[in-house]
Structure 1
Amino acid sequence: MKRLAILAAALALAACGRAPDRLVDGSGRVVSGRLTALDGASATFKGFSVEIPGGRASVLLRSGALYRGDVSLESGTLSVSGDGIEASARLRDVAVITWGPASVRNLLLDVHAGSGWCDTHLYVERGARVVILAGGSSVVGTGTVGPEGLERTATTISLSPESLDGSLVGRIGEDGDPFTIGESWASVAETDGYLELAVNAPSTGAAAGYYTVSITVESDGTENLTAIFPGR
């Protein structure tokens, strides 16, 4: 639960203006500020620097594209290079940068409203790190909504009664407890099972539209993991 709280905090948006960039490591340390530079040994925030593991990193863009290589940051542009790959992106278009496990799986799929639980066919092991990003729109109840859901709770017959109506929700295993994903979610799996996603609505209700979802699973645990979540 401690890790869940830490990683949820790392994704929280600031109350106004651009959200801070946040660094989280396997010990639970959270550092936040304005990230200005990255090199092979340190992450430089405005006013201070933090050591990072170095070596290759996994870079997941908000578009769902995934790269792995050596990273650097200069003038707000992140560059990735290695194994013939040369890529760059604005920092605000990056969802997460991670150093640690090399065992990474990535999936891009559409989750349709009114279709109940969607089996992603991704088996998640306890201790694996999962990052989910979503976009798109659906029509549920009386309104059109994005992955964050409508500003009202769902009904008792919805797939996840504790989540907002129309929000993107998930569970690990058919008997797993549903949880809210929204537009972005990152956490450490506390159980084993196949990851399932859904648009939160009554399973028998009329709904339309879909969310396009990017999923990244790093399956070697998080003890040596360091991650940076750029703000927007």
Structure 2
Amino acid sequence: MKDFTDLIRALTGLTWPIIAGLLVWRLFPTLKDIIRSRGFTVKVGQTELTVQEMSEQVLRTTAEIQSSLADVAAGRAPEATPEPRTLRAILWVDDHPENNTYEAEQLRSLGVTVKTAKSTAEAEHAINATFDPFDAVISDMGRDESGSNNANAGLDLIRKIRNQGHGVPIFIYASTRQADRVSEITAAGGNGATNSVSQLFRLLRGVGEFPRDAA
């Protein structure tokens, strides 16, 4: 009788693993579709990204870090800081701020305050409303403005900021095609343009030290 009781207990212990295995087997096609769709989300700072978006940004940033390390290995020194100041606050203008989440969080981890604006109007308000001026402005080039696409929104923002007498450094961070319009950007009063994360950090480092570096 004891042997029979032990057998029943053993079979009972196996019941839940068997049931769980059957459920996983039955749900496997659904789970596979979810994984393929990359529908999971990850929260970075205040923004929620899909796994795909997060993976792409991590891969791009990692590639840029590798590029920077290659430059150092080749003996090309980073650009020197022209003046001893600290880069404390940045205004980032983009109608899709989620595209820059990883870069913005990197800056925040270095002690930089990053405020976002989705339009030229929001950016103007932010610049004129703050008592502590921004140390730099980053902008995309094309944006949806007032219900329509403005392919030169970045240039318009630069001109408006300069016309109001603000001398804050302004950088365009956009696609290769837009970043190649350096002559137009500098003619409008901008201070540089790039599509590279590492180069963007070099441009900002040219404005001043990051707080974590200055501490």
TM value normalised by structure 2: 0.27
More helix by share: 2
Q: Which has the higher strand share?
A: 1
Higher Cα radius of gyration: 2
Tell me: higher relative CO, structure 1 or 2? Use CA pairs within 8 A at least 6 residues apart. 1
TM-score (norm 1): 0.26
